[in-house]
Amino acid sequence: DTAVSQTPKYLVTQMGNDKSIKCEQNLGHDTMYWYKQDSKKFLKIMFSYNNKELIINETVPNRFSPKSPDKAHLNLHINSLELGDSAVYFCASSQGLSKEKLFFGSGTQLSVL
């Protein structure tokens, strides 16, 4: 069973469109994250949620809106997509005080044309 699963794996879309990425974890973890990895493989946190509450919002444009309907799910909606949004987006989770040990999903490669 996949621990952290995100869909879709690939997303190709036009500038200006709105898209969503879904993430689910079955580990029973209390904290979930969105990370962005750019073309140079630099990995940067975007958001974190703890028990459905937004904890970190790392100066991300407000076109990005995370939503956590419950502690097992964290979705990412992106409005008015721009070329610069092209990247790999990773969902991750952690449990309790073990914030150093993240469990990542397989990533969503977003290409904005």
Partner 1 sequence: GQSLEQPSEVTAVEGAIVQINCTYQTSGFYGLSWYQQHDGGAPTFLSYNALDGLEETGRFSSFLSRSDSYGYLLLQELQMKDSASYFCAVRSSYNTDKLIFGTGTRLQVFP
Looking at the Cβ atoms of 40 and 79, the one nearer to partner 1 is: 40
**Positive or negative: CA dihedral 69, 71, 93, 43:** positive
Distance CA 111, CA 64 (A): 16
**How far out from the chain centre does Cα 68 lie?**
11
Looking at the Cβ atoms of 13 and 107, the one nearer to partner 1 is: 107
Looking at the Cβ atoms of 65 and 106, the one nearer to partner 1 is: 106
> Rounded to the nearest whole angstrom, what is the least distance from the CB of residue 31 to partner 1 in the complex?
6
**Residue 16, CB half-sphere, CA atoms under 13 Å: how many?**
0
Q: Which residues contact 98 (CB under 8 A, 6 or more apart)?
A: none
Looking at the Cβ atoms of 66 and 90, the one nearer to partner 1 is: 90
Structure tokens at 23: 């993430």
Q: Which residues bind partner 1 (CB under 8 A)?
A: 31, 33, 41-45, 48, 50, 55-56, 58, 90, 94, 99-107
> Rounded to the nearest whole angstrom, what is the least distance from the CB of residue 40 to partner 1 in the complex?
8
> Rounded to the nearest whole angstrom, what is the least distance from the CB of residue 45 to partner 1 in the complex?
5
